[in-house]
Amino acid sequence: MPINALSNRISTVFSTMLKSVGKQMDHRRLTNYIITINQKESTEEILSELSHCLKDILNYRLFAFVIQQKSNVNIWLDPRIYKQSLEELVIKDFNIKDRTNINYLNYTFSPEETENKEEEKKFSMENLSSYEINEDDYFARVYMITKKGMLDFHDDEIDMILRTTQTAISRQIDMKKLSDAASIDPLTQCYNRREFETQLKRSVSNALRHKKELSVFMFDLDHFKNINDTYGHQAGDLVLQRVSALVRDDMRTGDILARYGGEEFIAILPETNKQKAMELANRIRGDIASRRIKVDGEEIRVTASFGVADLGRSSDINKLVHDADAMMYKAKLNGRNTVMPGLIKVCPSVDSKQKVKS
């Protein structure tokens, strides 16, 4: 046999052996990752483990995960990817009509990526691979650029990884639905008071840990008893439903709205200073006042009084809620259908024990 032919044959045999060994090593690691992914309890933890798995097996260069639930699209993005390059692709792949529905979330990257963080870069579409996950409750895609060549068995491994991720995310969504059912006010579909307290503790803890601003606003529907007395309790329930839906539409994705009791609501505004919270509250106040709610041929007009407070230097959760409640009380004394502290109006000091009818 000629030397060249023998050399080629030996190279082919060794190449096949190396692929087989690599495949066995990958499968051992893959099994461990599959077990770990299935043990995660949140979408962030699942995606973090998914990114580590793909990094370990495929040594990807850039990575992004996009998930769409109803109209909202959340993107976990490698900070080195040029946002505009990916966003245009996501808009096309997910048929997005409104860019405001796109939310960029924190991407958990490995320590070596943090240390060697490259500048944000554009990437060639020719080098980009994408894989989709399609479920009844959500649609998702993984976008990836790999450093090393893809072998035939890598497609099977990616399929196994994504099937595992799909199962884990679907289970997490189902668990969240069950949890939400116990924490949601059935009439308004806002969080109930108990869940609000849990969310507020978590939000305050995050704000203090990351040195971020945090504000809340509380509002109460003015003269709500008159609506029940004049139009009936069913009409009152409809007003609560319509107003709470309006407020949720005006708030950002990360904001939290809860029914605090009766016709009182309270909102948590992460990464928002007091001035911005007052501006948001005033905009919502105006939207509520301009809305006409039709009930059995009648048009009901409703207004709301808002109180705003911020975390400031204090970590006292009870004081934060108390301050918002006190400001809402002043808003009622200041003529209702207003926000306190106000951007223009100044409310005189009042006796906190004085009672005001809602």
Q: Which residues are catalytic?
A: 263
Cα distance from N-terminal residue to C-terminal residue, the chain: 100
Distance CA 2, CA 344 (A): 94
Q: Is 311 helix (H, G, I), strand (E, B) or coil?
A: coil
φ/ψ (deg, to 5) at 294: -90, 125
Residue in the structure block whose two tokens are 């139009």: 231
Distance CA 189, CA 180 (A): 10
Would you list the DSSP string of 206-238?
HHHHHT--EEEEEEEETTHHHHHHHH-HHHHHH
User: How many CB atoms neighbour CB 17 within 10 A?
Assistant: 10
Cα 171-172-173 angle, rounded to 5 deg: 90
> Helix 224-231 vs helix 233-250: angle between axes, to the nearest 10 degrees?
140
